[in-house]
Structure 1
Amino acid sequence: MRILHTADWHFGKTIEGRDRLPEQAQFVEELCDICEREAVDLVLMAGDVFQTPNPSAAAEELFYYAIDRLSANGTRGLVIIAGNHDNPDRLVAPAPLAARNGIVLIGRPKDEIHFSANPSGSPVANRVKVVQAGYSWLELAIPACGETAVIAALPYPSEARLRELLSQSTDDPEMRKAYNGQIAHIFQQLAAHYRPDTINLAMSHLYVQGGEMSDSEHQIQVGGAYSVDPQCFPRSAQYVALGHLHRPQAVPGSPVPARYSGSPLAYSFSESNHKKSVVLLEASPSQAVRIQEIPLSSGRPLVKWIANEGLPQALQWAEEGRAANAWIDLTIHTDAVLTMEEIATLRRMHDGIVTIRPVLPEMDQQLSKQELSSLPLDQLFIRYFERQKGGAKPDDELVKLFLELAMDEADTEDAGNEGEDMAG
């Protein structure tokens, strides 16, 4: 069986307000071409289909187009789980229609997968069929390759979506221990459905300890409470397909092959050096899987420009057409705050410039940690604001509001600590 692993599409995500749906549509076409070229039998999509729980109509339209193409009229299997960005109920709303084409949508952990042995109402020999299923697992028969796959499919397993309190303690190590125990228990139960004559797979959307993060992922662990030990994965799985981290990577310390496929596009400038890809597997029952990364070429690259010689250097780069098809994060070392006209000129000359960050001489003077720790809170906020806004200073009302919010947060923490002391 030839299996493709992908994740973290984030349809509808923008970059500084710039629409990226055309790039995401380009990725869909590339993904479908890969599936055709590589004769893929089964696609695993490991969560974060959308950027928000309430995606735009255009983002949903692209999703429906993608799954219709990928299913190849019901002859290719497709299993999709919800990630932390997805609304699990909204994701599975079209499940009755999707099932007619061998598409399985799973929203929450422990959701029971309903199926019909013949959902289309007519016998079609080459259509994918769910032949057995239960809570977060299914057995999928794919006639094109003559094999069946048993898939332990665990959507984003937050405490709320698991519908249970994992620990009475708020102590981070205790919460992590309880969470890991529950994840390991769930996988152990799901792995009970594996058989020697099936291809045995697992998939989930979570953060595994040791994984490399980037700026575009929303943190899904509270402290370290929702970070998962790779030893939680079932040892009888032949492969674990993961979503959440946007850098393609293998999971260190896993007892079985486990990988993040990564996002198909670079979604933050911290990913500008990522080589985006999908994972292709060749699997047979009771055999080690063969793993291949297939590079992706879709989307505009993300590039950082640092104009150490000031505005003229940045204008020259834009006039030369440097990185013409890229999104640009521009830092300019300058002696004066840029005017609105200068900023508008830069953007006219290169429509891909999404961030312009002037750095003034005084901003180049770095303070030590000890010096920073001695500054009053309002001065720390002012320095941060100036660095983010290219030297512009916050007005007095904004500083006052920040200090009020900081005091409210401190009071809340003190009240919590007093409650714990009284309980002790």
Structure 2
Amino acid sequence: MRILHTADWHFGRTLEGRDRREEQTAFIDELVQIVEEKRVDLVLIAGDVYDSVNPPAWAEELFYDALERLSAGGKRGVVVIAGNHDQPERVRAAAPLAYQHGIVLLGLPKEAPFVSAPPAGEERVRIIEAGPSWFELAIPGVPHHAVVIALPYPSESRLKELISERFTQEEMQQAFSERIARLMNEYAQKFREDTVNLVTSHLFVMGGMESESERPIQIGGALTVAPSAFPASAHYVALGHLHRLQKLGDAPLIRYSGSPLAYSFSEAGQSKAVVVVDVIPGEPVREEIVYLASGRPLARWKATEGIAQVEKWLAEGRDAGAWIELELVVSEAIDPAEFQRLRKLSDDFVKIQRVLVRDEEEKQEAQAAGKREELSPEQLFRRFYERKRGVQPDQRVVELFARLMASARETEGGERE
């Protein structure tokens, strides 16, 4: 059986206010192409389909269009679980209709999908047997059935369990991990030697590498699970929540597929992918990382030589097609008109931040004066002139300024007398 693992689509999410709808739509087109070219039998979507509990209508439409295309009219299995960003009832709303097409939608832990039979004479994906958070799936043309443990985001409220109200954070973390391990061991009793044994869940596993784009599952990190919580009899564990592609174990094979798009500049430079695994009972699992090309990359620029350096990079086509976060290092405040011109140089600038630094001479002057307001008139004039002209004033200009200042003081003194 060939399985494709993906997660954390976050439909509806933006990047510093920039709409990602076009990229998310392109991802679905690419995903459908991959499952067809790779002849995938089963697609696992491990949570966070949406970015919020109330996604825009276009995001829901894109999700259902993806399900219909991925299922291939019921010939390919599709399993979707809710993540911490998803509203469970919204994810499973179309479940009765979806089951008829071999699509399993689960919103809450301990849910049991419907056991359904395809219309007479039709070869479609069907659920042979099911219970809370597990089911056995038959896929046309595949000699082995899949037994899937599917545990949507298992918070205490969604589990409808109070793990403890008196534990310390460390005790709470251990208790939660042990509770998930007990659930997994209970459901794993349905695994058999002749079946493809799979686990999919949306949670934070110890050892996983985070990025800034994942909003915390729970303050304090209590909802953390040890890798040992997953049954050793599983062939593959497909996880969602962390947006970086990463492997956390080999026996069983435990993976985060990561998000298909980079959702924060902390992910700049990361390659996005889906995971394809081939499982035959009794044989080693084979995996393939399939890298995606549909999302725009993110790039961080640090310009230490002013706006002219930024203009040079743009002329060279640096990071063409990427969303760009620009850090502009300057020694003086930038004129507002010049800053607006900088913004208009490229539509790819998502975020521009100015970092004002002082050179060593200015630092010494500032330390001697105590603070900026106490700099001498000559020092203030030099800084003003450089900001406006872009160069240091020559000595004659400075001397002229000094004479004008002296004349002004004499005039002011005479008026006071």
TM-score bucket of the superposed structures, by smaller chain: 0.7 to 0.9
Unaligned 5+ segments in structure 1 are: 365-424
- Counterpart of 2:355 in structure 1 is 359
Q: Are 1:214 and 2:211 matched, yes or no?
A: yes
Distance in 2, Cα, partners of 1:73 & 1:307: 52
d(CA) in 1 for partners of 2:179, 2:16: 38
2:232 maps to 235
Following superposition, the deviation at residue 314 of structure 1 comes to 1.7
8 Å CA contact 1:233–1:255 kept in 2: the answer is no
Choose which of 269, 274, 279 in structure 2 pairs with 1:278. Answer: 274
The equivalent position to 2:307 in structure 1, one of 307, 311, 314, is 311
Alignment of 1:161-176 (within 5 A): 161-176=158-173
* Aligned equivalents of 1:290, 1:215: Cα separation in 2: 31
Does structure 2 retain, via aligned residues, the 8 Å contact 1:221–1:227?
no
* Cα deviation digits, residues 15-65 of structure 1 (max 9, x gap): 010000100111101110010100000000111101111100111111111
Structure possessing the higher radius of gyration over alpha carbons: 2
The alignment partner of 1:101 has SS state of coil
Secondary structure of 2:147's aligned partner:
strand
Q: Is the 8 A contact 1:282 1:291 kept in 2?
A: yes
Q: Any conservation in 2 of the 1:283–1:289 contact (CA below 8 Å)? A: yes
Tell me how far 1:111 sits from its aligned partner: 1.2
1:156 correspondence with 2:150:
no
1:69 is matched by which residue type in structure 2? R
Q: Is 1:115 aligned with 2:115?
A: yes
Q: The residue matched to 1:337 in structure 2 has which SS?
A: coil
- C-alpha distance in structure 1 between counterparts of 2:351 and 2:326, whole Å: 6
Q: Residue 344 in 1 paired to residue 334 in 2? A: no
1:226 corresponds to 2:223: yes
Alpha-carbon contact 1:283-1:290 (below 8 Å) kept: yes
How many residue pairs are counted as aligned between the two chains? 360
Equivalent residue number for residue 411 of structure 1:
none
1:262 to 238, 249, 258: 258
CA distance in 1, matches of 2:148, 2:34: 22
Aligned to 1:397: none
**Contact residue 114 and residue 127 of structure 2 kept, 8 A:** no
Q: Secondary structure at the match of 2:208?
A: coil
Question: Does the residue aligned with 1:73 lie in a helix, a strand or coil?
Answer: helix
Conservation of the 8 A alpha-carbon contact between 2:7 and 2:258 = yes
> 1:135-183 CA deviation, whole Å, 9 max, x = no partner?
1111110012232100000011111111111013240111012101110
SS at match of 2:43: strand
Mean Cα deviation higher: 272-281 or 317-326: 317-326
Taking the aligned partners of 1:183 and 1:246, their CA distance within structure 2 comes to 22
Q: Distance in 1 between matches of 2:275 and 2:336?
A: 45
Instruction: Look up the equivalent residue of 1:307 and give its one-letter code.
Output: A
| Structure-1 separation of matches of 2:138 and 2:67 | 18
Q: CA RMSD in A?
A: 1.6
1:105 corresponds in structure 2 to 105
- Spell out, residue by residue over 1:192-218, the C-alpha distance to the aligned partner (whole angstroms, 9 max, x if none): 111112111011111110111111011
1:249 corresponds in structure 2 to 246
CA distance in 1, matches of 2:138, 2:339: 58
Contact 1:325 1:352 in 2 (8 A): yes
My pick for the range that moved more, 160-169 or 38-47, is 160-169
Q: Partner residue of 2:85? A: 85
1:324 Cα offset (Å): 3.0
Contact 2:8–2:241 (8 Å) recurs in 1? yes
Structure 2: runs of 5 or more not aligned: 361-417
| Distance in 1 between residues matched to 2:334 and 2:77, nearest whole Å | 54
Cα deviation for residue 357 of structure 1 reads 0.6
Q: What corresponds to 2:404 in structure 1? A: none
User: Is 1:290 aligned to residue 294 of structure 2?
Assistant: no
- Distance between the aligned counterparts of 1:261 and 1:124, measured in 2? 37
Whether 1:10 aligns to 2:10 is yes
1:186 to 183, 186, 196: 183
2:174 maps to 1:177 = yes
2:291 aligned partner, one-letter code:
P
Measure how far apart 1:340 and its partner are.
4.1
Asked whether the 8 Å contact 2:10–2:51 carries over to 1, the reply is yes
Closer, same or farther in 2 for the Cα pair 1:362/1:178, shift >3 Å?
A: farther
Q: What's the CA shift for 1:363? A: 11
What CA distance in whole angstroms lies between the structure 1 residues aligned with 2:293 and 2:145?
32
CA drift of 1:97 comes to 1.4
Identity of aligned residues (%): 52
In structure 2, which of residues 307, 327, 331 is the aligned counterpart of residue 331 of structure 1? 327
AA at the equivalent of 2:236: Y
Residues in 2 aligned to 1:125 and 1:288: alpha-carbon distance in whole angstroms: 33
Which residue pairs with 2:363 in the alignment?
Answer: none
Deviation at 1:320, TM superposition (A): 4.2
Instruction: Out of 346-355 and 242-251, give the one that drifted further.
Output: 346-355
Contact 1:167 1:174 in 2 (8 A): no
SS at match of 1:147: coil
> AA paired with 1:37?
E
Q: Residues 311 and 117 (structure 1 numbering): CA distance in 2 closer, same or farther, change over 3 Å?
A: same
Residue 145 (1) aligns with residue 142 (2): yes
Q: Return the alpha-carbon distance in structure 1 between the equivalents of residues 358 and 131 of structure 2.
A: 62
163 and 335 in structure 1: CA distance in 2 versus 1, 3 angstrom threshold: same
The CA distance in 2 between the partners of 1:349 and 1:115, in whole Å, is 58
8 Å CA contact 1:318, 1:346 repeated in 2: no
For residue 319 of structure 1, report the CA deviation from its aligned partner: 4.3
* Segment of structure 1 superposing worse, 143-152 or 314-323: 314-323
Deviations 1:217-264 (A, max 9, x none): 111143231111100001111110011111111014x64111001111
Contact 2:307–2:342, Cα closer than 8 Å, also in 1: no
- Paired residue secondary structure (2:191): coil
How many Å separate the matches in 1 of 2:272 and 2:36?
19
Return the letter of the residue paired with 2:283.
Q
